[in-house]
Amino acid sequence: MAGMSAPDTDTPGLAARIGHGLARWSLVIGLLLLWDILARSGSFTPFMLPSPESVAQRIWRDASNGDLPINMGLTLYRALTGFLIAALLGVGTGLLITRSAAAAWFFDPIISVGFPMPKITFLPVIVLWLGFYDTAKISMVVFDAIFPAITGTIVGIRAVEKELLWSARNLGAKEREMLWQILLPAASPQIMTGLQVSLPIALIVAIVAEMLMGGYGIGGAMQQASSMADSRGVFAGIVEIAVVGWVLVKGMSLLRRRLLMWHPEAEAPSGV
């Protein structure tokens, strides 16, 4: 009898997890149901609002003929390449600003003006200089995604407790040891927060650049579908972007928890 009690005790926990998962996705499920109801109601034509089933069929067709892997691969390549460059340059620039008064004096007005400015306004200049190909699109991603990485690094470094730095110096820590063993670890939560902001920006800018510049990619495919009055293709692109964006954000959240296992925030449950 004792051996038969384990499944009974596990059942409430499993049910609770399933219920929690359904509750988290209830809004998405509700929106899909509403979309299907409106599409079938006759209030909208299939051109204005194609049904979820027809959009799913379009995505499957694009996946089967190879268009979806090519377009998604190119978009991810541009977004992730731009993000990685922005992360390296942004963190490096943020460190330089916090360690050098001259660098802070030089970069402060650039960041103050550049951060709130809509960087997409520079797209005509980027096109004039670099053309319509990957270099221009990746450069546009870097230009947009670098600012959250810089500010996250600055905030994180400046928030490190002064007592911690004084203690390290009194114990004979050199500047390189201060940087790698104290400053970067202590500032890593804020740095990761800046990178978590930069990543979806990188995806958004890559898609917008593809829409405006043309060519292959999810954004380019959506623009082509729109020009040909192919509403299923446009809605298929929206669904693909939503899925890719969710995967990237989820992956970044998992990476954050992995890198910050030592930090107190790792002990708290994450809702992402």
Q: Which residue shows structure tokens 């149901």? A: 33
Mean pLDDT by 10 residues, the chain (272 residues): 50 69 78 88 85 92 92 95 96 90 88 84 86 88 94 88 70 69 82 93 94 88 90 92 93 88 59 45
Domains and CATH numbers, the chain: 50-259 (1.10.3720.10)
Taken in order 30, 34, 36, 37, the sign of the CA dihedral is: positive
What is the biggest distance separating any 2 CA atoms in the chain, rounded to whole angstroms? Answer: 78
CA separation for the pair 107, 145 (Å, rounded): 16
Taken in order 142, 145, 147, 149, the sign of the CA dihedral is: negative
pTM of the predicted protein model: 0.83
Output the six-digit token pair for 20. Answer: 């929690």
HSE-CB at 180 with a 13 A cutoff on CA atoms is 3
The pLDDT of residue 32 is 87
The pLDDT of residue 157 is 87
The pLDDT of residue 168 is 67
CA separation for the pair 158, 104 (Å, rounded): 12
The pLDDT of residue 264 is 65
The pLDDT of residue 272 is 44
